[in-house]
Amino acid sequence: MINDVEKLTLLYDRMIENLNEFTMTPIDQIEKLKGFPVADEIASDFSDITIKYAKELFDAEWIDKEQFQKFLDVDGYLEKMSENKDLWSEEALKSAPEWEECREMGLELLSSLGY
């Protein structure tokens, strides 16, 4: 049981760290992820990692259905964005309303989690 709690605590903390990165200003995101394709990295961190953490935390009843649905909504929005290759540059990360919407959705998620 202790290992489960420790594991879930670690997953929760990492999920929050990923959400904080997801909601940073574009300038901070670019600085933090210098050397990587920043928009791709932000999206893949969310879709490939953060969603998995959220699913495990939801299954363990550490987050509720509404919170988990918000994660899925962000993931779906990112998937829709992937259809437009113009959204995957640093310039788009700074100026595209779609990325601003992503950050806002991430902030709503953080708020629902008490941050």
Q: Which amino acid is at 64?
A: D
- What percentage of residues in the chain have a pLDDT greater than 90? 94
**Tokens found for residue 94:** 């700074």
Tokens of 40: 């791709």
Predicted local distance difference test score (pLDDT) of residue 41 = 95
Q: How far apart are CA 52 and CA 11, in angstroms?
A: 9
Which pLDDT score, from 0 to 100, does residue 93 have?
Answer: 96
Residue with tokens 């959400």: 19
Please state whether the predicted TM-score (pTM) of the whole model is above 0.85: yes
* C-beta separation of 39 from 66 below 8 A: no
Mean pLDDT across the stretch 43-49? 96
Alpha helix segments (H runs only) across 23-115: 26-32, 38-44, 51-59, 65-81, 90-95, 97-112
DSSP state of 82: T
Q: Residue 35: pLDDT band by 50, 70, 90 thresholds?
A: confident
Domain boundaries of the chain, sorted by first residue: 2-112
